[in-house]
Amino acid sequence: MSDENTLLALEGIKALFAIEEIKKLRARYFRCVDTKDWEGFAAVFAPDAVFDISDDVPGCILTGGDAIARAAGEPLTGCVSVHHGHGHEIDLTSETTATGICAMEDILRWSPDSERPNMTLHGYGHYVDSYEKIDGRWLIKTMKLKRLRVDIGTAG
């Protein structure tokens, strides 16, 4: 009886840590984009990760952490970006897999001498994710950005 309860407790704790680790993973994703830490950014993804940004770029589905990092990093050259995410709804589907949704906002401003001179983008939406635990670390497996709204303009 007590043994069963103990195992139940350890199970519960493992689940709670998984949820916390996935939230940290997601926070690292956002922070690495904005600090242009592309190595750290690539490291949040599973090797075969899929990022569906077809709401932003029609038909665009990126595959693999390195490819996602390159594709995300290139257009952000000369851009100060702010990416925020919160409001996590995480569901553990097994000991090593999980799904999640979070609200997001991105605020981008390109410099006058960039390829998008003075362009601004202010967007809102949700990330619909799946995660996988590989070699003891939670990673982003799939990610779809569903937009509520995107405003594109030019800085004063």
Residues at the contact surface with its own copies, assessed by CB under 8 A: 2-3, 5-10, 12-13, 16-17, 19-20, 23-24, 26-28, 30-31, 34-35, 80-82, 84-90, 101-103, 105, 107, 109, 124, 126, 148-149
8 A C-beta contact, residue 89 and residue 102: yes
Minimal distance, residue 16 CB to its own copies, in Å = 5
Cβ proximity to its own copies: between 31 and 116 the closer is 31
CA distance 145 to 68: 13
Cβ proximity to its own copies: between 64 and 116 the closer is 116
Minimal distance, residue 100 CB to its own copies, in Å = 10
CA distance 102 to 90: 9
Torsion of CA 52, 26, 68, 151, to 10 degrees: 60
Minimal distance, residue 3 CB to its own copies, in Å = 5
Instruction: Of 21, 43, 23, give the one whose Cα is nearest residue 32.
Output: 43
What one-letter code names the amino acid at 86?
Answer: H
Minimal distance, residue 47 CB to its own copies, in Å = 23
Cβ proximity to its own copies: between 43 and 101 the closer is 101
DSSP string, 125-137: EEEEEEEEEETTE
| CA 132 from centroid of its chain's CA atoms | 13
Cβ proximity to its own copies: between 52 and 122 the closer is 122
Look up residue 66 and give its two tokens.
């390195």
Minimal distance, residue 125 CB to its own copies, in Å = 9
